[in-house]
Amino acid sequence: MEITSFYRCFMVLLIYFGCQGCLEEERAALLQIKDSMNISESFGFSNWYGEECCDWDGVECDPSRTRIHKILFYQLRDQRNIEVEPWFPNATLFAQFKDLQLLELPGNQIGGFLSTHAFKKLKHLRKLNLRDNSIQNGSNFCWGKYLSLYNLDLSGNKLQGNLPDCFINSCLGNMNSLRLLDLSNNQFNGFFPSLIISNLTNIESLILSSNEFQGMISLCVFANLSRLSEFDISFNHLDVETEMMSPSCSPSFKQSILSLSGCSVKKISPWMLHNITSELWLSGNNLTGPFISNFQNITSKLTLLDISDNFLHVTLLEDINLNFPELRHLDLSNNSFNGNLPIFFSDQLQTLDLLDNQFQGGIPHGMTSNMSFVYLRLSRNNLTGDLFPKNSSLPNLRWIYLNNNHLSGIFPYALTKSMELGIIDIQNNDLSDSTPSGNRFGGQIPVQVCQMRDLHVLDLSENDFSGDIPHCVDNVSSWLDSSYGGYLPVDSWNKIALTTKGSRYIFKGSILPYIRGIDVSCNRLRGKIPIQMTLLKGIHFLNVSNNLLTVGLVSLSAFDVAFNNLSGMIPQRVQFAIFSNDSYLGNADLCGLPLSTKCNDGAETPPV
């Protein structure tokens, strides 16, 4: 009987606490914060109604559903193509959430806070994320000494000048608790805050890149930070000494990520290859001389190595995979490496960038039978021989750049088996129209290109292709509809160079998935421009100039049919009238707008 009574009481208490709902003062504070943001409910507050605020978007409560633990407003005020005034939240509203542990307000165009002293009441706050806002004054964070933050992310703001004294002594005053500090992509300047680094005894991730810090520093300043896993001071105005000059300076950690790009580093120290277990970023430094020959006996656990934009040279070892057996991303671009390409790379290698070096000879079969390659760029070298051997296999390939070499032969059959290709750039080589033999293609663009449904950009310009443009181009899903996604990775390596209307454009970053185009200019293509090209509503660039084409063209932003054999009247649609005269140069018998040449004294003349 007593057990039954206890059970009933327990259930009553459970129902009571489960149904109590969020506190009225916290619910009211949420509504005031929402009103101060001055945006439409469609941008994140569509379910903000009723009494139970624990169910509202961007809000999370404790297990009893009475106290709010987390507020997460991601880019609610980042409205595309709409000018939004800076937001200056009142800190007293956030101070109403006594048990708040996590506050994330990234990308909301915050210009600063009112009544910042109120933040010191948030005794349980452990994570503060204000990245990608417009905060300029570091004194907004002078209340930090009252808290024990674990994570502080202020990256991508407009914080400037020296680190304010109050920011150092107050916000970072209680340093022992910090695990993550990200101040990257601001405008801090002055001497590098070495003292701060040495006092961050529990820091695991320290990111200070893309500021204006100055001076010469030694990596000894963080040698005793035993928990440090990620350290990034790239792209400041620093001279970084990587040598550990004494035993007391020897690093006491197995660091995961070290980023020293643009830090005037002059030497790769052996400890880097021993102690860094995942990613080493050293691009844009002053590294000179031979590279791996100094570390032949080292076996590194690195999965990513970026030493691009340096002054390294010498021939790479043929069995470089023995030094880096776990490597997945390797960037050696913009150096002076020479000799033949290495025969062996790690079987796990997914990204290889050798752009702008002096490699010569052919592409080794070991490279073209790599089952893991997703991204391959060998552009601007002195490579010769066939583009790809007949029995090559790169089924995972999504990006390939082989342009500006001396490769010969025919369009590679192997690429037609890479069904997930998004970018093909083999312009400016010596591809010919040799006679077909067996399963190999001759000078025509193979119809198998149309099987690559995810293809975003096809660049075959400046070669020697002949014959017709394939009529099956409307089979490529991503060219038919600009809303078709497909898969197109975005990372620091990916970029597209397209030439149209006499100008060269470089696209990279987050815009890449939205760029689609075809460039077959400067070949010997003949016949008519296929009517199927009029169905390609998803492409933005089409360049068929400098061929021997004779007519046929709708969401194009760039269009170039210069120097062909087109004649007759340019189609009088708004789409075609917006392009400049340069788009139609070298077609003497074309007439109609936008050209000044009239068609038969103004009479409509159908295109031939």
Is residue 471 predicted with pLDDT exceeding 60? yes
* Rounded CA separation 514/510 (Å): 8
Q: Read off the DSSP letter of residue 316.
A: P
- Selection from 53, 61, 66, 121 nearest residue 91 by Cα: 121
pLDDT at 146 over 80: no
Residue 363 CA to residue 383 CA, distance in Å, equals 7
State the SS3 of 20-84: CCCCHHHHHHHHHHHHHHCCCHHHCCCCCCCCCHHHCCCEEECCCCCCEEEEECCCCCCCCCCCC
DSSP 3-state of 239: strand
Domain ranges in the chain are 25-134, 138-146+155-176+184-281, 360-432+439-607
Q: Which two tokens stand for residue 412?
A: 């590679």
CATH code of 360-432+439-607, in short, is 3.80.10.10
Q: Measured between alpha carbons, how far is 573 from 595 in angstroms, rounded to an integer?
A: 14
Residue 139 binned pLDDT confidence (cut-offs 50, 70, 90): confident
DSSP state at residue 579: S
Beta strands in 446-561 (DSSP E): 457-459, 466-467, 495-500, 503-508, 517-519, 524-527, 541-543, 548-549, 558-560
403 close to 427: Cβ distance less than 8 angstroms: yes
Of all residues in the chain, the percent with pLDDT exceeding 70 is 79
CA 248 vs CA 114, 542, 549: distances in Å: 46, 62, 72
Q: How confident is the model at residue 388 (pLDDT cuts 50, 70, 90)?
A: confident
In this prediction, residue 200 carries a pLDDT of 83
Q: Which residue has the higher pLDDT, 391 or 293?
A: 391
pLDDT for position 512: 65
Which position has the higher pLDDT, 226 or 575? 226
What amino acid is encoded at 328 in this protein? Answer: R
User: What is the 3-state composition of the chain as percent helix, strand, coil, each rounded to the nearest 5?
Assistant: 20, 25, 55
pLDDT score of 173:
52
Q: Are 429 and 460 within 8 A, CB to CB?
A: no
- Beta carbons within 8 Å of 276's beta carbon, 6+ residues apart: 255, 256, 257, 258, 300, 301, 302
Residue 339 has pLDDT above 70, yes or no: yes
CATH class label, 138-146+155-176+184-281: alpha beta
d(CA 428, CA 551): 25
pLDDT in tens, 211-249: 999 999 888 877 778 899 999 999 999 999 887 656 667
Query: Tell me, what's the pLDDT at 452?
Result: 75
pLDDT at 205: 94
- What is the residue-averaged pLDDT of the chain? 80
The pLDDT score that the predictor gives to residue 441 is 36
Structure tokens at 11: 């259930």
Is-same-fold flag (25-134; 138-146+155-176+184-281)?
yes
Share of the chain above pLDDT 90, in %: 34
Q: Are 517 and 541 in contact (CB under 8 A)?
A: yes
Q: Which of 30-34, 91-95, 310-314 has the lowest mean pLDDT?
A: 310-314
Per-residue pLDDT band for 11 (boundaries 50, 70, 90) equals: very low
Beta strand pairing status for 230-232 and 257-259? parallel
**Confidence category of residue 483, pLDDT binned at 50, 70, 90:** low
pLDDT at 405: 93
Is residue 473 within 8 A of residue 532, CB to CB? The reply is: yes
The answer to whether 448 touches 470, Cβ cutoff 8 Å, is no
Q: In 3-state terms, what secondary structure has residue 389? A: coil
User: DSSP code of 87?
Assistant: B
pTM of the model: 0.76
Residue 440: its pLDDT value, please?
32
- Assess contact for 337 and 358: CB atoms under 8 A: yes
Q: Residue 484 — very low, low, confident or very high, per pLDDT cuts 50/70/90?
A: low
Tell me: cis bond preceding 594? Omega within 30 of 0 counts: yes
Q: Write out pLDDT tens, residues 55-100.
A: 999 999 999 888 999 999 999 987 655 677 899 999 999 999 999 9
Task: Give the model confidence (pLDDT) of 415-430 as tens digits.
Answer: 777 777 878 888 888 8
3-state secondary structure of 292: helix
DSSP secondary-structure letter at 167? I
Task: Give the integer Cα–Cα distance in Å for 385 and 433.
Answer: 15
Taking the CB of residue 6, how many other CB atoms lie within 10 A of it? 10
3-state secondary structure 334-379: CCEEEEECCCCCCCCCCEEECCCCEEEECCCHHHHCCCCCCEEECC
Rounded to whole angstroms, how far apart are CA atoms 8 and 53? 28
Residue predicted with more confidence, 21 or 512? 21
Span 465-487, average pLDDT: 74
**CATH (residue range 25-134):** 3.80.10.10
Residue 128 has pLDDT above 90, yes or no: yes
Give the integer Cα–Cα distance in Å for 433 and 416.
17
What mean pLDDT do residues 35-41 have? 86
Candidate from 167-181, 377-391, 485-499 with smallest mean pLDDT: 485-499
Identify which has the larger pLDDT, 79 or 327: 327
- On the CB side of 321, how many CA atoms lie within 13 Å of its CA? 16
Q: How far apart are CA 380 and CA 373, in angstroms?
A: 19
Please report the pLDDT score of residue 196 as a whole number.
76
Among residues 354, 425, 422, 436, which one has the least CA distance to residue 390? 436
> Considering only 307-321, 346-360, 420-434, which range has the smallest mean pLDDT?
420-434
523-551 confidence digits (pLDDT tens): 888 877 787 776 677 777 788 888 887 65
Residue 125 reports pLDDT greater than 80 = yes
